[in-house]
Amino acid sequence: MSDLMFTRPDCGWTTFNIYKYCPNIPKEYASMFHASYLQSGATMLFEMFLDMLNPKIHHLGLVPFDAEGWYWYLVETEYGFNLLLDNPDVEQSDDVAMPLLNTFLGFEMLGSSLQLAQDWVDCYETFPEEWLAFDLCELSSSSLNEENIREHLKEMLKTTFNEEIVQEKVNNINKKRDELNLLCLQLKNLIKENSKN
């Protein structure tokens, strides 16, 4: 596994690199930290770190990750970051702010907000198109290619297909790309400001 925070998103999945932060974790825990593209993981991570590092907003961070059947959470406590796992045998709350958690992983803290924010920026910048596809619930970044979009929509829509539909999809992809890149730039600036303090 690379030294990035998450593996390269592919086919709707990524995995949190638990060994980067907890090298002595028992092997049976490593497979628990997959994340599905059913949630906008990139956007949620950017927003969490931006809110946490902004002195006007600062609040403790929590990002839920859907592992399809259960959730795990990256959470900031007053002592640093840690991971929380829900219990798949307990009925899940619909309120993300108050999840039913039964396991607090008592591993060493994952690191500071600043360190993890920089790790996230590095991870995003290594695979920007893959994270864009992940946030758009696409299986791979190749599905963001305009020609592939056209072919897919032609096949799917058959008689109702027109170029305006392709252009709308391309525009939505470009808008989301711009949003993620702006969030990344804002986070990099906040990291730089906080590093001076």
In this predicted structure, the answer to whether residue 100 has a pLDDT above a threshold of 70 is no
In this predicted structure, the answer to whether residue 63 has a pLDDT above a threshold of 50 is yes
Amino acid at position 68, single letter: E
| CB-neighbour burial class of residue 135 (10 A; exposed 0-12, middle 13-18, buried 19+) | buried
Amino acid at position 123, single letter: C
The model's pLDDT over 131-158, given as tens digits with 9 standing for 90+, comes to 998 888 876 777 777 888 888 777 777 7
pTM: 0.79
The model's pLDDT over 19-43, given as tens digits with 9 standing for 90+, comes to 887 777 777 766 678 888 877 889 9
Backbone φ and ψ for 3, nearest 5 degrees, come out as: -95, 15
In this predicted structure, the answer to whether residue 124 has a pLDDT above a threshold of 90 is yes
Torsion of CA 52, 129, 20, 192, to 10 degrees: -40
Q: What is the mean pLDDT of the chain?
A: 79
Res 121: pLDDT: 96
Residue 194 binned pLDDT confidence (cut-offs 50, 70, 90):
confident
Res 99: pLDDT: 37
Q: Within 13 Å and on the Cβ side, how many CA atoms surround 147?
A: 1
In this predicted structure, the answer to whether residue 181 has a pLDDT above a threshold of 80 is yes
In this predicted structure, the answer to whether residue 52 has a pLDDT above a threshold of 60 is yes
Closest CA to 67 of 80, 83, 81: 83
Closest CA to 4 of 108, 130, 89, 104: 130
In this predicted structure, the answer to whether residue 172 has a pLDDT above a threshold of 60 is yes
